[in-house]
Structure 1
């Protein structure tokens, strides 16, 4: 595509109107969102998030809100931590002489419950793929260590975290060790459940059973606790202790913990775990709008509501996982909205810019815009880019120029078909596939792309009666929001989301 294009600053005819931006001027929302406004910006709540009043559930000694999800049964290769990656035999992570994962704080080694469970799951995955007992033994080393230091309360096993710390590093929110967290509790439950499933050993099933009991003890109560039911009856899995403080309601920690409940249900068939997982998913279904900042980064937790870009990307993945486990479109639509609000910024590739007039912005180290340019190009150029994101709340999406003469280090506003990343950005998958509706008489161009964004096949389709497809993937390709058809004659073809084309 770029073989005959001019490169570098020679193609820049005019760069004018450099000025310091008033922050009030850039804080207002701007046009130019690259994903389909007709689909993404519809409230994901339109999928029907009905209130679920607290109810009694058999075998669970408290009432909580449960939406009637129909959980999808996933076999092991389709569950969390099952992928094609085989961890290296040589562990370069921090571990002790027994090969068990640890954490170091101020020069001292501490047990690392979440890290040990996660590494155990990664090694079980490697064992599943290779059949090499080396990986199973390394997973068993993590499990033996975990059960060796558990704390017990009312038959439930908890896993202490050290050292003491300030919650989020905030003065006045001191968390004294040992402290307990639903995030590692859920990750350990997933690990021990899967270990029991893959080995058939009653030892690990018993350990999983005891670990599960912690989810039946809402706090505050005597001894450790990691879950609670709020004043509205919603069931929370709390990543951070809240004794003497406002509960944190951390989104990623709650979701990560909930996936352990799903795993335990899949392995054991325990219906209490299924209902608790549904309760945890119901909580997110209800509170998700409070975590969202439309046109910007989502909040890490509800106690402080601070945006966090790293966890925002994690939120998108977790929402897609909730959709995968429940089939509820609320979660798929929410993932789309979150991704549109703040696309995953990490890209590496070529920025194609066609002739025309463009806006460029420079930001300081704190991410605040400090200057702008109007750039006129008399011929097309191809530059390198390494980041694609919104620069402030409600701004258009910008691409950072890495090699562009006098524009190197500046951000250029993305414009589909005019200034765009060549290839794929903001990709995400849908399982199960979603429905796509094409209105009667709308002509649709379906394309197959290679990994460099070049068109390898093209078809034009339309129908007087409209068209229906299923799609399993979505991405911005060459600047346009597209979905990939998952079945039929057009399987693996991509189509644009635009007027008359609606994703359900």
Structure 2
């Protein structure tokens, strides 16, 4: 895989400073995320916001965008946890019910960990401050945590028909039948590995990316829904909970094209074309 690519979160555009897609920005330049009228610590929502601010700063060179990105990133760091192995984790402190799965607080998500890895890489590339590179390394270290009932994890290994698959779970569940293998969340986790590999060339991180991307590629039949929008998740449990929302189908189609660009594997392009033919 080439290290000459670009982060999937950085575009050639600037959003209006007054845009409130992700929430309201407070006087301290930190994004305020509300859920059910309560202010919550939300790593994924804040990651999207930071990525928008970094993209906008790179395009416009308006300092306020970068100030907002840095302040919100520091807010997330201040609320993070570090484990005994030195991995940095971004907890959700509110409960979340997913079908019959009850995500008690705190809970942790592979999607959040991957997106925060990308946030730190992009801040490092934008500012040159090694602090952000160090935080990226600590965040990516969380990908090495195996499934455990004593702490955070999202790295899930399954053996199907004598073949090993690796999924980075958006909603990790100790009960195997409740691990949904959410497609878009898994791929967003992979983006974090890709971004970190771009700036370091770390061979172990490349391996983590490869086993995850290969599992997405080889699981295509588990979420493709021929002639219709694809399933949100790969397992029966996941399909029964989320079904096949059209907006997610379109997003995954784009994500597969991005994986094709990252890996040079034409199979991802073929799969994206099939999804586009099924529904667009």
Q: Which TM-score applies when normalising by structure 2?
A: 0.90
How far does the alpha carbon of each residue in 1:172-198 deviate from its partner, in whole angstroms, 9 at most, with x for none? 321111110011110100010111122
| Native 8 Å contact 1:173 1:245 kept in 2 | no
* 1:141 alignment partner, one of 71, 74, 78: 71
Within the alignment, does 1:179 sit opposite 2:179 as a pair?
no
Pair 1:227-2:188 in alignment: no
- Superposition deviation, residue 245 in structure 1: 5.2
Post-superposition shift, 1:281? Answer: 0.7
Higher strand share: 1
Structure with the higher fraction of residues in helix conformation: 2
Alignment of 1:62-211 (within 5 A): 71-76=1-6, 79-93=7-21, 94-95=23-24, 96-153=26-83, 154-167=85-98, 170=99, 172-211=100-139
Deviation beyond 6 Å, 4+ runs, structure 1: none
> Are 1:252 and 1:311, in contact at CA under 8 Å, matched by a contact in 2?
yes
Question: What RMSD over aligned residues (CA atoms) do the two structures have, in Å?
Answer: 1.6
Q: From 209, 222, 239, give the equivalent of 1:290.
A: 222
Q: How does 1:211-360 map to 2 (within 5 A)?
A: 211-220=139-148, 222-231=150-159, 232-244=163-175, 246=177, 247-301=179-233, 302=235, 303-305=237-239, 306-343=243-280
Report which of the two structures shows the higher radius of gyration computed on alpha carbons.
1
Q: CA deviation at 1:221?
A: 5.1
Output the CA distance in 1 between the equivalents of 2:37 and 2:138: 33
Instruction: Name structure 1 gaps, 5 residues minimum.
Output: 1-70, 344-504
Match runs of 1:408-423 below 5 Å: none
Q: Would the alpha carbon gap of residues 91 and 307 (structure 1) be closer, same or farther in structure 2, given more than 3 Å must change? A: closer
Q: Report deviation, 1:149.
A: 0.7
Matches within 5 A, 1:483-498: none
Partner of 1:434: none
Matched residues in 1 for 2:275 and 2:51: separation?
Answer: 28
Take 2:277 and 2:138, find their aligned partners in 1: how far apart are those partners?
A: 41
CA contact (8 A) 1:162 1:177 kept: yes
Distance 1:156 1:227 in 2: 13
| Structure 2 stretches lacking a partner, 5+ long | none
Q: CA shift at 1:75, angstroms?
A: 4.3
2:164 partner SS: coil
Question: Does structure 2 retain, via aligned residues, the 8 Å contact 1:72–1:324?
Answer: no
Scaled by the length of structure 1, the TM-score of the pair is 0.51
